[in-house]
Homo-oligomer: A and B are copies of this chain.
Amino acid sequence: MKFAYTGIEVKDMNRSIKFYTEALRMEMLDRHLIRETGGEVAALKSKDSPQLLELNWYPESRYHEGSELDHLAFEVEDVNDQIGKLTKMGAQVARETEVRSKYIVGFLKDPNGIWLELFQARK
């Protein structure tokens, strides 16, 4: 179980990428469409920092003031096992677990209502 990156929701992907790469000098590691949702995702980091920031854009945005914090992501070995443990310790299930092409992904809410993504690489 390790904290993998912070994901924020953005209103306009091009504008946010321009700001984070040109103004804040971050590097874009990856940008791709999400076939399942029609959304888009970009991964950014600064040259001398290991901290990762993910920008998320959704075609049917739920963006409103305050929804910028999309999720905190944790890599785990067994998503369902962790969901069982974490819901006993104060987390709530936010969305049904999804089996995607490369990952199994679950979403919980922490005690502040912050979405936590748990992802597990498929073998």
Q: Which residues of A contact B (CB under 8 A)?
A: 1-6, 8-12, 15-16, 19-20, 22-26, 44-53, 63-69, 72, 74, 85-86, 89-91, 110-114, 116
Contacts and interface: CB of A to CB of B under 8 A. Distances in A.
A85 B23 CA distance: 8
B68 A65 contact: no
CB-CB nearest 7 A-B residue pairs: A66-B66, A69-B69, A50-B50, A23-B89, A2-B46, A2-B49, A6-B6
A16 to B, nearest CB: 6
Nearest to A23: B89
23 contacts: A1-B25, A2-B49, A3-B24, A3-B46, A4-B51, A6-B6, A8-B69, A8-B114, A10-B111, A10-B112, A15-B90, A15-B111, A19-B111, A20-B110, A22-B89, A23-B85, A24-B116, A50-B50, A51-B52, A66-B66, A68-B112, A68-B114, A69-B69
B51 A19 contact: no
B24 A1 contact: yes
Contacts of A50: 50-51
Nearest to A48: B2
Contacts of A110: 16, 19-20
